[in-house]
Structure 1
Amino acid sequence: MKNLAYDFKTIAVVLGLSLLFTIPVKAQKSDFKYYFKKAEKGKSDQFFGLAQHYYYGDGVSQDFKKALHWFEKALEAGKGRTGWAEYFIGRIYKENKELKDYEKAVFWLEKSYAQTEANKSVASKVISDLVPLLFYGKGTAQDLDRAFQLASSLEEKEKPLIPLLAEMYEKGLGTERNDTLAAKYYEIALKNSKDYSGELHFKVAQLREKTTGLSSATWHYLESAQRRYAPAYDEIARIPVRFYKGEELKTLAFQVVDAAPYLKDKPRLQYVYAAMIHSKGFTNYQNYAMAYGYLKNSEAAGIKEALPYLGMHHFYGLSTPKNESLGAEYLLKSSTDMVSQYTLGMMYHKGIYFEKDDAKAFNYLLESSKQGYPPAGFPVAHMLENGIGTKKDVVRASRLHNALILRDANTNSMLRLSEMHRSGVLGRRNIARADELLADYKRYSDVCNWCEGSLIVSCTVCEGTGHGWKYSRNSPRTANRSVLCGQCDGSKVETCPFCFGTGRKQKPNNSSTHSYDLFMRYLFGQ
């Protein structure tokens, strides 16, 4: 029993010693009173810790003057933690309203930066505070080159510096101008920002438009306008409605324009709104009468883009008495517009209202295609390949097909160019290229991705074996050759569960087609 009692005493002593060297020490490090008593007694090792307590207000009311005093005392004692004390002193002179002194801030931050080789942990912090002072010339002569050099030296860009770095690239300050990198860093700034300002979205949109085109800038213009940034409304009025691709983008576009505070005073925005509410499938809200009224306002303001839509209203009698001649007149008035050019080209080609004239049809379609209207490209390539309304030129047709594939992923061009390579009409047969284009066609077209149009797939239950399964403790699932698969009855295949045996991609029930596309399908005779 004595031995047992001795053992208990030993255990208690060991536990006591372990607690003595762990919990109290850890608690003391976070205890303001501990640092204060030690520092008051002249313990220089605690000067820096006490200064931090005053700086952050940890365990005591925040007091930057006292923090400054103890950071300076730590430096005098040689306990400044290799650049950290200088950094905090610089921060106090830079940020505190009562003690603000940019010259002193630069002085101390430079002293801290000089020690970053010995202490790399302080580098990113001191650079993020020093760069703005150098950039704006606060407390020192403006030095854009050094500001850019420091800002771009960080491996992981500090969040506060990202908008500044974007501005440097945008305006060519301290470095060569680079709109692509400017847009990249502004977008990163947007992700890091809490307010997602409309102005920042607007900057990104302008840079994206310069570098990659208006289509890639569309979303940012709309986001900017949604945040009521006034200049963005003028910009979204320039965006063709066909750029609003995808349900999310369509919804955003409609919400923005529908709530536009300047709609009544902006005839171009009225045209955009009219195009939206005119279009089937664009929104759940379709109103031909309202669209017609806005289009007439836009026409009165000299907006030519409204004329093709007015032409359709009169040609079809949408919310106005049907008048084919007036509809055709509107289209001819706007014959420099790519949409009207395409429409007129197909009307001449099919002999609808106008007398059939393939030469005129080709010229109209070619001009529409040159302006970048996606539906016009394939008819032009088709007419070139077959010599309809123009001289036959299969090489030029193949080049146009290639351009349409690269620009629009045009599935009709993929299929036709595949056939051209397979048949050898371009001079020699290229089966490899033909198969490649056919594979692209299947991937991008309406053909089911799962069965690739074959209507059947390997049975998903028996995995193409035709056998059933048996289960046991040792082997949870093994093939049972004596039993046929209950799904495929031993045939090893089943109807494709993704397209339900249609061979086509399944579309949502609420999907519908733009009324203008319906008009074009009618002209194509599809």
Structure 2
Amino acid sequence: MWRVSVAVLLFCGCIFAQKRDAIIHIATEVEYTYSYKKRNVIWGSSQQTATFSEIVSGAGFLIGDYIVTARHVVTGRVPEQILKIGDIDFSVEGNIIHSSACRIRVSSNGFVPRAIYICLDKDIAILKLAEEDRELLQLQQLSLSTSPLSIEQKVKAWGFPATVNPQVKTDLLVTSIKNEWFVLDCPLGSGFSGGPVVDEDGAVLGVVSRSEKKQSRIVKLSQRDLSRVILDPYWDTMFISNDADLSTILHHENNVFWYRKMAAKDNSQAMYYLGLCFYYGEGVSQNYQKAQQWFEKATDYKNSSAMYELGYCYYYGINTAMDREKAVLLFTNAALLGNAHAMNTLASCYYYGEGVDCNYKKAVKWYEKASLLGLQDAQHNLLHCQKNGLEDKLIFVQPKLQLAATENVFSMLEIGQIYLHGIQNHHKNFREAKKWIWKAAHKGIAAAQTELALMFKDGLGVGVDHKEALLWLTKAAEQDFAKAHYYLGHMYRGGMGVEKDFKMARKYFEKATENNDADAMVLLGIMYDRGEGMEQDVNKALKFYGKAAELNSTTAMNCIGSCFLKGVGGVPNYEKAIKWYTKSHELGNSSASFYLGNCHANGHGVTQNLNKAIELWETSATMGNITAIKKLASVYKSNELGVQNHHRALFWYKKALEAGDKEVRSKIIELIE
């Protein structure tokens, strides 16, 4: 019978809401778990549990793209007292709500929210609707009041008191003001819960929370409440469903406090959530270094979600050097622990050969495992494998495009990077790259803002515009994004889009080093090494090179070798130079291979060996090092080392010409003639 009543209630709401389009009716079916003891004089008391349902009715109003209401309208009221009925004691066990029984209807059209965002420290909830529902919803947009609240101020409140017909109470007086709430001089019925209290201009001051005998408590509503309550769209764990999951809530200040306390007790899930808070700047300042540290701590406790996030950091080089092999190892460990997202990503790594040898059989295996766990992306990937065969590699971009089209900002960035860098066997398309990266950048994603800046800096898909690049880098740097600090320093050092300024360059490089950016450490070392804008200091240069080398920067290792080759304090140390050049060379640094070849050619720190020198120069030249290419051409042309070979000289001069060195044309003509 009550279900019929609710249906009538909602239907009538559709009619009356058209008359008062400032607010909207919300009805929620909430199921509680409770325990009770039944007393018996012979057998004593017996403990049992049961459930009951109730309908919570209230109001809501539209601000921007979201409906605002009171939290208890969504979650229901849990009696604080023990109810005594005859010989039975009832006790509701906390706020235990079964999401499958929680349904929310917006009365104008009976919409179901896409997501429910809960504010932990205030009686506020925000409902997110699907885009198509927002377009159909004809509600008057309300805005927040910018005027100060005062005692004796006249306000009015909207609600649905014991009726589906929206009503307004006017000439209400503010009698008391606290930090987070204020009090009115009149009780408001339960149907007013979640409705707006507005000033004389119709701007929202707060949300109706609780009605008492002679007064009502109103929760203040601020722009900060609206912005901090919204969950990060990347995770999107709350989706369009009749079973809106109320257990997923925002990572804000209150959560951070409790996460820290739980993490101190070795709770790996709390460590993981702390990592997310720092990663997205939810409740704390965004800090990728701290995010990575918490992910690493949780990973030590075998937390699969943290392993997956840490793998993501290494995969894209977020606050660390890009290391696809290490990312694959982390994805594998997380997948073996049952993480479906890690399984899907690991499958894609095998499919595209990213960080691991291409292996279609293993790709399908992991897609199947993730599909069995209900992951839709994996099911989609597996379906296309079955339909189109394994050779259709571009199909895996489609799920990401679909996510990006639903305003998922991180999918926008990922799609943009796929087109920009041509990864995942996808052809480069700078126009498409700019389209998606631009969208993510305008949504405030620092990594996207940095990518967009580099496109303007290098003229990829857009005209070269250093001032525009500087603008976007500055936006990203304001979010403490290390790579943005690094590139800003790079632009000030080179005078790109701004006057050359070594002092500003040093400032931004130092900021980047605070977040463990190895590239910034290297450039700071170079500035000290050369005395750019400061007194030359090789020891300080070595200090920064050393820090970067600890982060596996081959460039830093090469620079350390050069410092010892030139001599610290004027005295060369060939043994140490050889040591560092060799480390860098073995890790694939072409400059180190070239300089190591010079050492063998000149007998610096090693026995002179021309054949070894040529071998090392050819290794460097094969990697595209223009200095090594020209050196080889010169050596083979002039017979200066007794290995004259005009055919080899011509080969390497042509390589130099292909690399853009037009000055070698005369050398080529000379050899041909």
Common fold: TM-score over 0.5: no
* Shorter-chain TM band: 0.3 to 0.5
TM-score by length of 2: 0.33
- With structure 1 as the length reference, what TM-score do the two structures score? 0.41
Name the structure where strand makes up a greater proportion of residues.
Answer: 2
Q: Which structure has greater helix proportion?
A: 1
Greater radius of gyration (CA): 1
